Amino acid sequence: MDVNTDGPDDRDLEDGGLDLTPRTPPAGAAVGRTRSMRRWGAVGVLVGLVAVVAFVAVQARGASLYYRNADEAVAQRESLGRDRFRLQGVVVGESVDDGNAKVFQVAYRGVSVTVRHTGKEPALFKPGLPVVAEGSWNAAGTEFDSDRLLVKHTEDYKKADTGDYEQQHPDRVPANDADSDTDPTQAPSRGERPDAS
Amino acid sequence: MNPLFRMHPDGTASRASRVFGLVLLVAVAVFLAVALVISPPDSGPNASENSMGDLVRIMYVHVPVAVACYTAFFVTAVASVAYLVRRSEGWDLLAAASAEVGVVFTVLTLATGSVWGHIAWGTWWEWDPRLTSTLLMLIVYIGYLALRGAVLDPVVRARRAAVVGLVAFANVPIVHYSVDWWRGIHQPATISRLDPTIDGLKLFALMFGMLVAIAVYVWLMVHRFRLEFVRARLEEQGLDTALAERRAEAETASGANPVTAPKGAS
């Protein structure tokens, strides 16, 4: 900035300053095109960003109804029909392999559902751990046909207590505000877990 | 040598940061020993109800990098507010550096979580509230960095970035509480609660990991902030250099009359 300090302001074109844009002739056309390209580029990026945010937001809305607990699935059996949904419950007892499907019980708040699962199961799948099964009620509405099974492991990394997970964690997942008719105040709180050390 | 490429004589390190770096390297090594070897697997008589075996060890990295990304974005938000109040360059550079380091930690969080989820849950990715909001957080902060790259004027850039840096933080508590507010596959909090559901060496490994991750964040920030500072100086210098070069060009091209009305200026 020591050069030519009494000259015009170099950064101001109106003041007769120097054009610092890299020069590729013809100068006028190139500058105009670059500007409009930049503007359209910015609009493109903005549209892309809005699309991504909208997509994620739509997915998040679906995610907020991520699963139905076993008791809710039973209560809503009529309205659900053959609709595909996710079923959440704790695996109770051993599972039986009947040749083409793995059959086991999941329970939540004392309501159990028989799940007939075809497909892979995660390594952590075992009795006592909550799972989320994806599928629908069968035609008779007696069993849940699942083709995708995820284990929803818990936040408890302390030594396992008696193993009767359902009784000790009755309030493990929040009740569905719209559909639940059970009174959450009747459930004992987490702090009353007997064996927690 | 072209003055554009002449870096700060000390690079981005100082004696103190080098010592800190060495201590940190030792701490990382000790942490890895604790997390991967010394701490017990989640199996045997002391196993938790999840019985994750060795898989539990990924938690000692996943949770700490997540805490580091929260910290980074918190610093960005605070620095953004400080910039809007004080209008001094340092706060802007701090916000920028922290956002970038935060993005790196967020990617690490998603990557380690994905590996964990693949084995424990049975899926690499799920549109679960925690995962979805974390992805949104990553996109928003990448947008913040893109905004910084898109505005040339340092003052305009700093002002706009500060507003975005502050607004973007609104999502961070949503990410954290998403596991309590909505149903999902992700487990609820283990340690950020009144009665942590982890104890013994597992708890130690987790806390140690968080300490190391925060220290790594600080170390990265020392260097990233200095780099950002040097870059700002270079940007200023670059304008002066461009001025001098254009002037020299103009003088050689038009001989006696250096100040000519630029083409395409109207």
Q: Which of B48, B239, B247 sits opposite A158 (nearest CB)?
A: B48
Is the CB of B133 inside 8 Å of chain A's CB atoms?
A: yes
Contact A174 B183 (CB under 8 A): yes
Q: What is the pLDDT of residues B74-100, one digit of tens each?
A: 999 999 999 999 999 999 999 999 999
Residue B58 has pLDDT above 50, yes or no: yes
Contact B259 A45 (CB under 8 A): no
- The mean of the pLDDT values for chain B is 89
What pLDDT does A181 receive?
45
What pLDDT does A75 receive?
93
Distance CA B39, CA B28 (A): 15
Backbone angles phi, psi at A12, to 5 degrees: -110, 110
**DSSP 8-class letter at B196:** -
Residue B252 has pLDDT above 60, yes or no: yes
How buried is B52 (Cβ within 10 angstroms: 0-12 exposed, 13-18 middle, 19+ buried)? buried
Specify the residue for token string 């697997």.
Answer: B41
Contact A60 B127 (CB under 8 A): yes
What pLDDT does B242 receive?
84
What pLDDT does B17 receive?
85
In the numeric block, which tokens belong to residue A34? 């670059």
The residue with greater pLDDT, A8 or B7, is: A8
Q: Which of A31, A159, A176 sits opposite B46 (nearest CB)?
A: A159
Is the CB of A66 inside 8 Å of chain B's CB atoms?
A: yes
Is the CB of A49 inside 8 Å of chain B's CB atoms?
A: yes
Contact A124 B59 (CB under 8 A): no
Q: What is the pLDDT of residues B8-53, one digit of tens each?
A: 565 788 888 888 999 999 999 999 999 999 999 999 888 888 889 9
Domains along chain B?
16-42+55-241 (1.20.120)
Q: Which of B50, B127, B190 sits opposite A63 (nearest CB)?
A: B127
Residues of chain A with Cβ-Cβ distance to B52 below 8 Å are: 124, 153
| Percentage of residues in chain B having pLDDT higher than 70 | 92
Is the CB of B264 inside 8 Å of chain A's CB atoms?
A: yes
Is the CB of A5 inside 8 Å of chain B's CB atoms?
A: no
Distance CA A144, CA A128 (A): 19
Mean pLDDT of B104-126: 96
Q: Which of A20, A125, A156 sits opposite B246 (nearest CB)?
A: A20
> Please, which pLDDT band fits residue B133 given cuts at 50, 70 and 90?
very high
Residues of chain A with Cβ-Cβ distance to B113 below 8 Å are: none
Most B CBs within 10 Å, among A18, A24, A86, A102, to test the B interface: A18
Q: What is residue B42's three-state secondary structure?
A: strand
How far apart, in Å, are the Cα atoms of A9 and each of A5, A86, B115, B179, B191? 9, 67, 57, 57, 60
Q: Which of A120, A124, A158 sits opposite B198 (nearest CB)?
A: A158
Backbone angles phi, psi at B214, to 5 degrees: -65, -40
Element (H or E) spanning B34, and its range?
none
CB atoms within 10 A of CB B188: 19
Element (H or E) spanning B168, and its range?
none
Q: What is residue B263's three-state secondary structure?
A: coil
Specify the residue for token string 């340690």.
Answer: B191
Q: What is residue B245's three-state secondary structure?
A: helix
Q: What is residue B53's three-state secondary structure?
A: strand
Handedness of CA B224, B104, B71, B65 (dihedral sign): negative
Q: Running along chain A, 197 residues long, what does each successive block of 10 average in pLDDT?
A: 53 64 57 72 83 74 75 92 93 90 94 93 90 94 94 90 61 54 42 39
What pLDDT does B113 receive?
97
Contact A8 B119 (CB under 8 A): no
Residues of chain B with Cβ-Cβ distance to A20 below 8 Å are: 239, 242-243, 246
| A 130-189 residues inside an 8 A Cβ radius of B | 132, 149-161, 163, 165, 173-174, 176
Residue of A nearest to B250 (CA): A18
Most A CBs within 10 Å, among B57, B183, B247, to test the A interface: B183
What pLDDT does B256 receive?
52
Most A CBs within 10 Å, among B39, B43, B48, B49, to test the A interface: B49
Mean pLDDT of B116-144: 94
Pairs across A and B, CB distance < 8 A: 164
What pLDDT does B264 receive?
47
What pLDDT does A50 receive?
84
H/E/C letters for each residue in chain A?
A: CCCCCCCCCCCCCCCCCCCCCCCCCCHHHHHHHHHHHHHHHHHHHHHHHHHHHHHHHHHHHHHHCCCEEHHHHHHCHHHHCCCCEEEEEEEEEEEEECCCCEEEEEEECCEEEEEEECCCCCCCCCCCCEEEEEEEECCCCCEEEEEEEEECCCCCCCCCCCCCHHHHCCCCCCCCCCCCCCCHHHCCCHHHCCCCC
Residue B151 has pLDDT above 80, yes or no: yes
